[in-house]
């Protein structure tokens, strides 16, 4: 039997990091088994659905690289889709639900109740055979024991989650339901519905949740909960996906950074851990840095230029070779691409403020004659290249009887406005003699 899994988000809120992880595990299992990954939009809550949320779901999955085999192609519920089990928006499957409810009603398995339809839930404990958690015997809670039946169609005629979820899994021939553990308790209801429809339940696999760093449940309002925070925050999908793979799953060989293709090869349901995991942004950031450092030039330039553009820097105003040379000095130094405007913006603007800490420390009176002497030495240099700049600076330092750092720090502040940044000699070479002398003069005037 060919594996068919689905990710079935509800567009009532923006794509969540936990939802992304659920999508990832479904995708991994589909790819691992050579199965099919279906995307289904559960938009039955008309009042709370938004088109923007649908778009973020599609954009987010594509950004992560989790392409689906079946499902909508655009965020338009009436738009094109791919696959033989559509429509993939639940808002367009109402006839299916109606027919299923009729069948239950006619067989006495459901009944009308004050305008709504309720399903006659079994009173017996339900055993859930879960691929991750094992066998779970779910008994009724006290409140359920008082009234075990539950609503499957609202009095306004709209079908409810438990019903539509099961009907679609059934009609879309879903073989494995991989979802968050928050659904484990509800699974008894779903199994009862499958029984009522006379078909076996899919294989369930309930995966642990992602918690906040303090161990509380991550909600949409928490820091870092939304996928857009990563998409817009200068992260790369490789790092986010890699990090997500390491939550509740492990390659078991002490490696942390590993290619997705290898995860696909090794991923399987029984090895998924059972305990919730806390989200650790520091570790994600570390992985982000690992990836950012190892990108090829083209990818690095592309992401960098994009990040600079978002911050208002138009790199098209500069020669391509200049832009590339400037970015080359930043590679391996930054983690988040969002850091780049602050880190390398000095290459692309002549007017900038000096960081106050640096002014206090480096633009001191005794440094003025030193910087002047350095400026004069630089003025005589041709060509203006890093190795010669370093020799010149160290010679001046020697003549002054000071360590190189005494000149390096004010020179850096003068030319970049910052106390930290790319290699000084290389950034000077990239800026070029004219810009460097101009900036040194400006700093000298400022120190006056």
Partner RNA sequence: GACCCUAUGGUCUAGCGGUUAGGACACCACCCUUUCACGGUGGUAGCCCGGGUUCGAUUCCCGGUAGGGUCGCCA
Catalytic residue numbers?
Answer: 220
Q: Is there a contact between 242 and 151 (Cβ–Cβ < 8 Å)?
A: no
* Binding of residue 48 to RNA (CB under 7 A): yes
Do 275 and 309 form a contact (C-beta atoms < 8 A)? no
Strand residues in 241-377 grouped as ranges (E):
277-278
Site for RNA in 322-351 (CB under 7 A): 332-333
The nearest distance, CB 252 to RNA, in angstroms, is 4
The stretch near RNA (CB under 7 A) out of 52-60, 260-268, 368-376, 415-423 is 415-423
Interface with RNA (CB under 7 A), residue from 106, 198, 254, 351: 254
Which stretch, 95-103, 168-176, 206-214, 302-310, contacts RNA (CB under 7 A)? 206-214
Q: Checking phi first, is residue 294 left (phi over 0); if not, alpha (psi -120 to 50) or beta? A: alpha
Nearer residue to RNA within complex by CB, 198 or 335: 335
Taking the complex as a whole, the smallest distance from the CB of residue 263 to RNA amounts, in Å, to 14
Q: What is the maximal distance between C-alpha atoms in the chain?
A: 100
- Applying CB under 7 A, does 67 fall inside the site for RNA? no
Q: Which two tokens stand for residue 292?
A: 């950012």
Distance CA 45, CA 142 (A): 28
Q: Three-class SS string for 31-61?
A: HHHCCEEEECECCCCCCCCCHHHHHHHHHHH
The tokens 């991989």 sit on which residue?
Answer: 178
Site string for RNA, 16-45 (x = CB under 7 A): --------------------------x-xx
| Contact (Cβ atoms closer than 8 angstroms) between residue 28 and residue 67 | no
Orientation angle between helical segments 424-431 and 320-328, nearest 10 degrees = 170
Task: Please give the residues from 117 up to 176 whose contact with RNA meets the rule CB under 7 A.
Answer: 133-134, 136-144, 150-151, 154-156, 158, 160-162
Question: DSSP for 210-229?
Answer: EEPTTSSBP-TTSTT-BHHH
Comparison of 282 and 353: residue with beta carbon closer to RNA: 282
If you search the block for the tokens 């978002």, which residue do you land on? 310
Length of the chain: 448
Binding of residue 412 to RNA (CB under 7 A): yes
Q: How far is the CB of 158 from RNA (least distance, A)?
A: 7
Task: Find out whether 263 and 126 touch, Cβ atoms under 8 Å.
Answer: no
Which residues from 303-322 bind RNA, rule CB under 7 A? none
Residues 89-118 that bind RNA (CB under 7 A): 113-116
Tokens of residue 300, six digits: 């690095």
Smallest gap from Cβ 82 to RNA, in A, equals 21
Regarding 181 and contact with RNA (CB under 7 A), the answer is: yes
How many residues belong to the site for RNA (CB under 7 A)?
81
Which residue in the set 55, 91, 173, 419 belongs to the binding site for RNA (CB under 7 A)? Answer: 419
- Which tokens go with 396? 């001046």
If the CB atoms of residues 198 and 270 are measured against RNA, the closer one turns out to be 270
Does residue 74 bind RNA (CB under 7 A)?
no
Tell me how crowded residue 246 is: count the other CB atoms within 10 A of its CB. Answer: 19
Beta-sheet pairing, 210-211 with 277-278? parallel
Nearer to RNA by C-beta: 169 or 390? Answer: 390
Q: Which of residues 282-301 bind RNA (CB under 7 A)?
A: 282-283, 285-286, 289, 293
Q: Which of 184, 236, 305, 443 binds RNA (CB under 7 A)?
A: 184
Q: By C-beta, is 262 or 314 nearer to RNA?
A: 262
Considering the complex, state which of residue 156 and residue 445 has its C-beta at the smaller distance from RNA: 156
**CB 392, min distance to RNA, A:** 13
> Which of 86, 213 has the CB closer to RNA?
213
For RNA, the closer of residues 294 and 314 by Cβ is: 294
Nearest approach, Cβ of 303 to RNA (angstroms)?
16
Contact 32, 3 (CB under 8 A): no
Residue 256 C-beta: closest distance to RNA, Å? 4
Segment near RNA (CB under 7 A); pick from 57-65, 167-175, 280-288, 429-437: 280-288
- Backbone angles phi and psi of 176, in degrees to 5: -135, 125
Which whole-number Å values give the CA distances from 312 to 169, 341, 363, 401, in the listed order? 47, 9, 29, 43
3-state helix, strand, coil in the chain (%, to 5): 50, 10, 40
Q: What minimum distance in Å lies between the beta carbon of 302 and RNA?
A: 20
């Amino acid at each position: 039997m060919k594996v068919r899994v689905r990710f079935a988000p509800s567009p009532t809120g923006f794509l969540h990091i936990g939802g992304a992880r659920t999508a990832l595990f479904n995708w991994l299992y589909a790819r691992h088994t050579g199965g099919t990954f279906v995307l289904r939009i559960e938009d039955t809550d008309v009042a709370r659905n938004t088109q923007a949320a649908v778009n973020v779901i599609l954009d987010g999955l594509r950004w992560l690289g989790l392409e689906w085999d079946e499902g909508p192609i655009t965020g338009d519920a009436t738009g094109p889709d791919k696959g033989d089990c559509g429509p993939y928006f639940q808002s367009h499957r109402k006839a299916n639900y109606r027919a299923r409810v009729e069948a239950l009603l006619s067989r006495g398995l459901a009944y009308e109740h004050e305008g709504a339809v309720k399903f006659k839930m079994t009173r017996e404990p339900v055993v859930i055979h879960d691929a991750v958690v094992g066998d779970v015997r779910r008994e009724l809670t006290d409140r359920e024991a008082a009234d075990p039946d539950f609503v499957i169609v609202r009095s306004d005629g709209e079908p409810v989650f438990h019903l539509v979820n099961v009907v679609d899994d059934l009609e879309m021939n879903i073989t494995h339901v991989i979802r968050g553990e928050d659904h484990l308790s509800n699974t008894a209801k779903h199994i009862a519905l499958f029984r009522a429809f006379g078909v076996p339940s899919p294989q369930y696999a309930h995966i642990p949740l992602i918690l906040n760093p303090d161990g509380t449940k991550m909600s949409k309002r928490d820091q870092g909960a939304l996928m857009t925070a990563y998409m817009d925050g200068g992260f790369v999908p490789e790092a986010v996906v890699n990090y997500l793979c390491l939550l509740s799953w492990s390659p078991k060989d002490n490696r942390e950074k590993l290619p997705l293709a290898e995860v696909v090869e090794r991923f399987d349901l029984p090895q998924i851990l059972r305990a919730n995991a806390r989200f650790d942004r520091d570790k994600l950031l570390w992985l982000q840095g690992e990836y950012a450092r190892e990108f090829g030039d083209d990818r690095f330039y592309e992401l960098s230029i994009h990040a600079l553009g978002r911050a208002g820097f138009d790199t098209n105003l500069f020669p391509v070779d200049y832009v590339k040379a400037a970015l080359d000095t930043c590679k391996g130094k930054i983690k988040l691409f969002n850091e780049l405007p602050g880190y390398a913006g000095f290459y692309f603007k002549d007017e900038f403020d000096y960081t106050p800490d640096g002014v206090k420390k480096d633009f001191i009176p005794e440094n003025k004659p030193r910087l002047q002497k350095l400026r004069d030495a630089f003025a005589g240099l041709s060509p203006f290249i890093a190795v010669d700049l370093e020799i010149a600076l160290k010679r001046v330092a020697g003549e002054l009887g000071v360590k190189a750092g005494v000149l390096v720090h004010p020179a850096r502040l003068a030319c970049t406005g910052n106390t930290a940044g790319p290699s000084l000699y290389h950034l000077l070479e990239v800026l070029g003699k004219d810009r460097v002398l101009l900036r040194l003069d400006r700093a000298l005037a400022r120190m006056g």
